[in-house]
Amino acid sequence: MKRNLTLILAFFTLSLQAQTVTWKNVLRGENQFNPSMNSSAITADNNGYWASHLSKFRLSYGQVYLGNQDIVHLDFHGEMDDTIKVFGNANVKMLHQYNDRLYMWIGFFDSVRLDTIHYNRPNNYSTFLCYRDANGIKSLGLLGDTVSIVNILPDGNIIQASTGGFGGNCTLESYAPDGSNKKSKILKSLGYAQAITPAKDGGIFITGGCMGSNIQIDSIQENNTFSYTNYVLYLDAKWEGKWMKYIEDVTCLPSAAGGTSNSAYWTGTTHIKPVFGGLTYTGGPSTSFTDFFTAKISNKQYNWVREIPEDTTIARINFGETHSTGVDEKGNFYALGSVSGNPIHWNSQLVTGRYKNNGNIILASWDPSGKIRWIKDIGGTGYEMGLELHVKGEDNLFFSAVVTDTFDIDGDTVNADYGDILVVKMGEENNTSTNKIAQKTVIKYYPNPGNGTVLHNAKVVTEYYITDIAGRKVQTGKMKPGVALDLISLPNGMYFISTENNTTIYLKSKE
């Protein structure tokens, strides 16, 4: 059952370090048994933010739920003003805004439809890359079945990695959206690339997992004796390998890196107590639990490493397809993850874990010296898990998470259901006050085009009328907050929805 997006505005200050929540939304989805199989890709543009969520469940594939997806746009007030609908057995793996283009990397099983794009591959899981701009939505084609990660570089070129398995080679490729300017490099024995992150100095970080083998990438030669590892590799702007770090881990769980070659952060999840170049990794889980770490790498050497949290407990960082970490312009590091519902002492002042349940959302920031700046936990009666994080600047953040029941965020109790997606904006946005968000007089309608069930952002009961393309009045009534307009009985075509303050063109079409 489809349900409306619930908008909740928050006007308060965080108790730890005066971090502010500007607004938060709950994107309503269909309830499913395992919340950890939900996903939500996010990105930012000049007018707000994009976030994806499952709107209709169809099937489970591996560790993710597939079905119809809504890619919604939220303005700087946290109100939804646009929706892109994906139909089929789909999941949105990446969203990335570059200039006026919104790139979408979408996976699907059997079939998928997005606008005029339609792919059908019976009994196969495939992915394709597309973008939307002022001219509509254009597909860049199906990607190879071995492509494990895709991202957009600062110059607008597309970069992707293909894997030959944990013991095989990794192929790195980049190309312009029109297929020109192709570039490729074989990374011997690198195995599986899980994330590609542009560095702030023009290079790239690649993180992933591989088996013990001889790794030879330009001047880098590593004779890894571990059976399985997590690694971080830095390539300069010419894709020359400059340094690589790896730790033993039996899981090859995802990790991510960011910063510059001489000042990099590496965060990941582990089941054991790995060695970071001789530095002590305090605490650490038993082999039956997970924990996550952050390491600072300066001038190719480990500068410090932190267990997160510095207690023996269950903790994990839950990486989206592209990012759950970030670095701001001052070198502060941010990580989004989850921990068990037990008290955790981060230092003498910061204690989290007020919520006794299966998991709490954790968002934390460290300064370049490794000192924790602030920590934020979100939890309640259900299961909560951080998904993706977008860092715009110092303490200026946008993130998504999955929630399952009533939860608390800074003393504000919010009702949610199993599998709903929480999106949160923290920090000031341009000249927007975080203490007062102005009410809008213009009513917006979505999705548009749509199939006749029309959602809107009206705050009070509002009279409306609808005319067709010939000027005939076909419907009148009163618009109520939170209640969708029903245009299902009207024939497909163009209509004008009018109120006292504005008129909007609405296109009705079949699903």
What's the pLDDT at 440?
42
Q: Which long-range contacts (CB under 8 A, 24 or more apart) does 65-72 make?
A: 65/32, 65/37, 65/38, 65/39, 65/91, 65/419, 66/90, 66/91, 66/107, 66/108, 66/109, 67/30, 69/106, 70/27, 70/447, 71/95, 71/104, 72/5, 72/27, 72/446
User: What distance lies between CA 462 and its chain's CA centroid?
Assistant: 36
pLDDT band at residue 313 under the 50/70/90 scheme: very low
DSSP, res 491: P
- Please enumerate, as own/partner, the contacts of 68-71 that have beta carbons within 8 Å and a separation of 24 or more: 69/106, 70/27, 70/447, 71/95, 71/104
- 208-255 pLDDT tens trace: 887 766 788 999 887 766 777 888 999 999 999 999 988 876 555 667
Most confident of 47-51, 302-306, 497-501: 47-51
- What is the DSSP annotation of 241-263? EEEEEEEE-SS---EEEEEETTE
Dihedral sign (CA 4, 5, 11, 12) = positive
Per-residue b/e over 444-472, b at no fewer than 16 CB within 10 Å?
A: bbbbbebebebbbbbeeebebebbeeeee
Q: What is the DSSP letter of 35?
A: G
**What are the structure tokens assigned to 303, written together?**
């500068």
Give the pLDDT band (50/70/90) at residue 463.
Answer: confident
pLDDT-derived band of residue 150, with 50, 70 and 90 as boundaries? very high
Mean pLDDT of 498-503: 76
According to CATH, the topology of domain 445-508 is: Immunoglobulin-like (2.60.40)
Note whether 88 and 117 are within 8 A (CB).
Answer: no
How far, in Å, CA of 261 to CA of 201, rounded?
A: 7
Spatial distance between the Cα atoms of 54 and 68, rounded to a whole number of angstroms:
6
Q: Residue 233 has which token pair?
A: 């590799």
- What is the residue-wise DSSP string for 308-355? ESSSSS-EE----SS-SEEE-TT--EEEEEEE-SS-EESSSS-EE--S
Model confidence at 277: pLDDT above 70: yes
Q: Is 381 exposed, middle or buried (0-12, 13-18, 19+ CB in 10 A)?
A: middle
In this prediction, residue 171 has a pLDDT band, given cuts at 50, 70 and 90, of very high
What is the reported pLDDT for 281?
Answer: 59
Percent of the chain with pLDDT over 70: 80
- pLDDT recorded at residue 276: 81
Listed ranges 49-53, 214-218, 281-285, 337-341; the one with the highest mean pLDDT:
49-53
The model's pLDDT over 249-260, given as tens digits with 9 standing for 90+, comes to 655 566 778 888
For residue 11, the model assigns a pLDDT of 29
Contacts with 510 (C-beta within 8 Å, 6 or more apart), sequence order: 451, 492
- Separation between Cα atoms, residue 272 and residue 250, nearest integer Å: 8
> What confidence score (pLDDT) does residue 18 get?
42
**Residue 234 host element (H or E):** strand 228-235
pLDDT (0 to 100) of residue 356: 54
Q: CA-to-CA distance for 95 and 70, rounded, in angstroms?
A: 12
pLDDT reading at 263 higher than 50:
yes
Residue 288 confidence (pLDDT) above 50 = no
Indicate if the pLDDT at residue 167 is higher than 90: no
Distance between CA atoms of residues 398 and 427, nearest Å = 9
Which residues have CB under 8 Å from 246's CB, separation 6+? 210, 222, 224, 226, 229, 230, 231, 232
CA dist., res. 268 & res. 276, Å (int):
13
- Average pLDDT rounded to a whole number, residues 151-163: 95
Q: What global pTM score does this model have?
A: 0.78
- Give yes or no for residue 196 having a pLDDT over 70: yes
pLDDT band at 340 (very low <50, low <70, confident <90, very high): low
Q: How far apart are CA 303 and CA 277, in angstroms?
A: 10
Mean pLDDT score of the chain: 81
Q: Do 20 and 434 form a contact (C-beta atoms < 8 A)?
A: yes
- Looking at residue 360, what is its pLDDT? 78
pLDDT at 321: 46
Q: What is the pLDDT of residues 44-72, one digit of tens each?
A: 999 999 999 999 989 888 878 899 999 99
**Unique residue bearing structure tokens 């917006």:** 444
Most confident option among 46-60, 277-291, 409-423? 46-60
Q: Give domain limits for the chain.
A: 146-252, 445-508
pLDDT per residue as tens digits for the range 353-401: 555 556 778 888 889 998 888 888 787 777 778 889 999 999 999 999 8
Q: Answer for the pair 399, 363: CB distance below 8 angstroms, yes or no.
A: yes
**DSSP readout, 45-96?**
ETTEEEEEEEEEEEEEETTEEEEEEEEEEE-TTS-EEEEEEEEEEEEEEEEE
